[in-house]
A = this chain, B = another copy of it.
Amino acid sequence: MTGKLFVIGLGPGNADQVTPEAAKAVDSATFFYGYTPYVDRLALRDGQVKVASDNREELARANEALARAASGEAVAVVSGGDPGVFAMAAAVCEAIEAGPPEWRALDVVVVPGITAMLAVAARVGAPLGHDFCAISLSDNLKPWEILERRLTAAASAGFVIALYNPISKARPWQLGRAFEILRSVLPAETVVVFGRAAGRPDERIVVASLGAAAADQADMATCVIIGSAETRRIERPDRAPLVYSPRSLGAASR
């Protein structure tokens, strides 16, 4: 008997942004592993079992889920957003690589989801309309010096930057330092978008400038998008501004 492991992306948190593929995968699994707030989103039927755990326990969670799947069960690991973007799919792969050989025989199905930067970008226009990168600002798993180097390289090369995990109680200063680094490369008027809980009732989207951006405008649920020097802001009467990165270089100066 061989079990099955789904790694499911539930999107930013709005039920209308859960794909039918994700909903079907949820329907076909029996055990659900994930960080508590994501598992709590699931409306399960009798016989479906939630196994919620803390944010920091990704590898332990992956191991438990794989062991359960290897026992012949249909198991799901759930993430908010997309499971492949700073989320559980990589932890599951790490666990498979380090785990017993039978885990490599499992049917592993990753179900993509709307990741935070896409949801936030959509709420303001098209800030990711040109080349862009996604960086997790957490230095729990990589040295801070590497992050500084990546921020500088990305901004210098003209990438729009989406920052995931910008700030937390345990990492209070990193976002402020990131803004300092970016201010040394980009103009003060560069557009910055703070996108919190996009598509949820507690959504808060703020369009600011790099010169005025402050770390306390973000929290754990925020994705911060920093424009390139080309990113534009369109003021609109009685509406929030639109933010977009032109498809062509130099369009800003046309």
- Measuring CB to CB, which residues of chain A are less than 8 angstroms from any residue of chain B? 11, 14-21, 24, 58, 82-87, 89-94, 96-97, 104-105, 107-108, 110-115, 118-119, 121-123, 125-136, 141-143, 146, 149-150, 153-154, 156-159, 232, 234-239, 242-249, 251
Known: A112-B122, A150-B159. A85 touches B128 (CB 8 A): yes
If the complex has contacts A97-B234, A104-B239, A154-B157, are A248 and B141 also in contact, measured as CB distance less than 8 A? Answer: yes
The answer to whether B20 touches A91 (Cβ under 8 A) is: no
By a CB distance below 8 angstroms, the chain B residues around A157 are 149-150, 153-154
Candidates B149, B243, B246; contact of A94 at CB < 8 Å: B246
Cα distance A42–B215 in the bound complex, in angstroms: 43
> By the criterion CB–CB under 8 Å, are A150 and B146 in contact?
no
Chain B residue at smallest Cβ distance from A108:
B242
**How far in angstroms is the closest Cβ of chain B from A240?**
10
Contacts of A90 in B (CB 8 A): 125-126, 129-130, 244-247
Number of copies: 2
Contact between A142 and B249, CB atoms less than 8 A apart: yes
A146 to B24, CA, bound (A): 43
CB pair A92–B20 under 8 Å, yes or no, is: no
Chain B residue nearest in CB terms to A21? B16
The 26 sampled A-B contact pairs (Cβ below 8 Å) are A16-B19, A16-B21, A16-B24, A17-B21, A19-B19, A20-B20, A90-B126, A90-B247, A92-B126, A93-B129, A93-B244, A96-B234, A97-B234, A97-B242, A105-B239, A110-B122, A110-B125, A131-B136, A132-B133, A132-B134, A133-B133, A133-B159, A141-B248, A149-B157, A150-B157, A153-B157
Q: Tell me, rounded to whole Å, the shortest Cβ–Cβ distance linking A199 to chain B.
A: 8
A128 to chain B, nearest CB (A): 5
